Amino acid sequence: MSKKIEVVIIGCGIIGNCIAFELSKKGYKTLSIDKNGDSGAGSTAGSCAIVRAHYSTLEGVAFAWEGFDIWQNWKEYCQVDDSWGMAKYNECGSVMIKSQDRNWRKILEHWDTVGVPYEDWDIKTLSERLPIMSNREFWPQTRPEEDEAFFDERDTTIEGALYCPAAGYMSDPKLSTHNVQMAAEAKGARFMFNAEVTQILRANNRVTGVMLKDGTHIETQVVINVAGPHSSVINQMAGVEENNTIKTRAERHEVAYVPSPAGFDFETNGFQISDGDNGIYMRPEVGNSILVGSEDPKCDTHQWVEDPDQFNRNTTDSQWTAQVYRAARRLPDLGIPNMHKGFAELYDVSSDWLPIYDKSDLAGFYMAVGSSGNQYKNAPVAGMMMSELIEECEKNGLDHDAQPLQFMLPKTGISLDMSTFSRNRELNPNSTYSVIG
């Protein structure tokens, strides 16, 4: 069976669906394909859906800050009423502890340049705003099974924290992805689920279509790889992986859930906390719980996954304990539950943990990959940028490699040089090489 479509998008996660929405608004006829049974059922479903502005690069800060208004006004962005309901933005604010693991002064400069509102808290203010938090310094980051002094009393204190009141998180990342699917379909986009791409078809160094596992042949001149942890597999199908300087691979990450300390309503009064001093991040969760994840300190071993269709989705004793015990150091009244609650999901990680938003060496084949762990919050803006890149290259003949697109961020008016996200960039020395980006 053969079909013809203008643009094929491989992957129906949050970024893929935002690209479909933005291209549909420009009048493109798109078909989004996913091997899962619904939008956001892959790695997006396991996203912590945190919306924050602390990135290690100016471009990262500007990109993230641009999206805040969209998340705060999510229904207005989608322009639809989803019968499943609309995901909600929880504006809890973010607290970034001033730690030795990153140059927070540089982030402060980026915030001033971009115009991100913030408060500079000393430890007295931090204790007043979050009385359950210890102001002890735990640097360097360690693991409880390797550090005999892990729970010893510390003499030094952290310097304070940076507070961004507009930060928060989306209530349901999978639902938000379905919302964008509905938005895209309202503009004419089509979606195909339980469908697996097995071939990228090409002729004369140009994409000509894709072949599905069931034998369906879809003719197209444009394919966009937004396949998350499967991105390297799709790039290999297209024959572009080898020539990319920046490559991607799947990494397994765990998050844990623990109850809030007794007598404190963390769900209502807590913050999204980036604790680089301690190697973890936390955010409020429903049921007065706290979500705890790793910020990839050097003491935590990377768990690379060769086959993204085969990995352990359950938490492991050692990593769950490491993350929760670090949380207990920062929140001394935190109870350690007997039952481990949490899950594991895959991140699509690039060589320097910064995304690739780019064309490829194969004409008509584009990539929005290497985005897991720190790009959920950037999805709507990434959709805008990728749609403009495709239009400029396909309709206006832009040679993006020779003359990279300068994408104007609508809210801030800052111009982003898209070479920052190039597949052939040099490794970015300003990256944290972690989930923080």
- Where residue 238 falls among pLDDT bands split at 50, 70, 90? very high
Give the model's pLDDT for residue 2: 66
Position 191 pLDDT exceeds 90 = yes
Mean pLDDT of 285-310: 95
pTM: 0.97
Position 437 pLDDT exceeds 80 = no
Mean pLDDT of 212-232: 97
Mean pLDDT of 358-374: 95
Give the model's pLDDT for residue 436: 76
The percent of residues above 90 in pLDDT, for the chain, comes to 94
Tens digit of pLDDT for each residue in 136-159? 999 999 999 999 999 999 999 999
CA angle 161, 347, 12 (to 5 degrees): 115
- Where residue 347 falls among pLDDT bands split at 50, 70, 90? very high
Position 358 pLDDT exceeds 70 = yes
Give the model's pLDDT for residue 429: 83
The CATH code that applies to domain 2-84+172-248+352-421 is 3.50.50.60
Mean pLDDT of 169-181: 97
Position 39 pLDDT exceeds 90 = yes
Q: Domain boundaries in the chain?
A: 2-84+172-248+352-421, 92-168+250-350
DSSP characters over 159-214? --EEEETT-EEES-HHHHHHHHHHHHHHTT-EEE-S--EEEEEEETTEEEEEEETT
Give the model's pLDDT for residue 1: 53
CA distances from 78 to 30, 83, 178 (A): 17, 13, 10
Position 102 pLDDT exceeds 80 = no
Give the model's pLDDT for residue 373: 81
Position 315 pLDDT exceeds 70 = yes
**Average pLDDT over all residues of the chain:** 95
CATH of 92-168+250-350, one of 3.30.9.10, 3.40.640.10, 3.30.43.10, 2.40.70.10: 3.30.9.10
Position 50 pLDDT exceeds 70 = yes
The DSSP secondary-structure symbol of 376 reads G
Rounded Cα–Cα distance for residues 90 and 71 (Å): 9
- Where residue 389 falls among pLDDT bands split at 50, 70, 90? very high
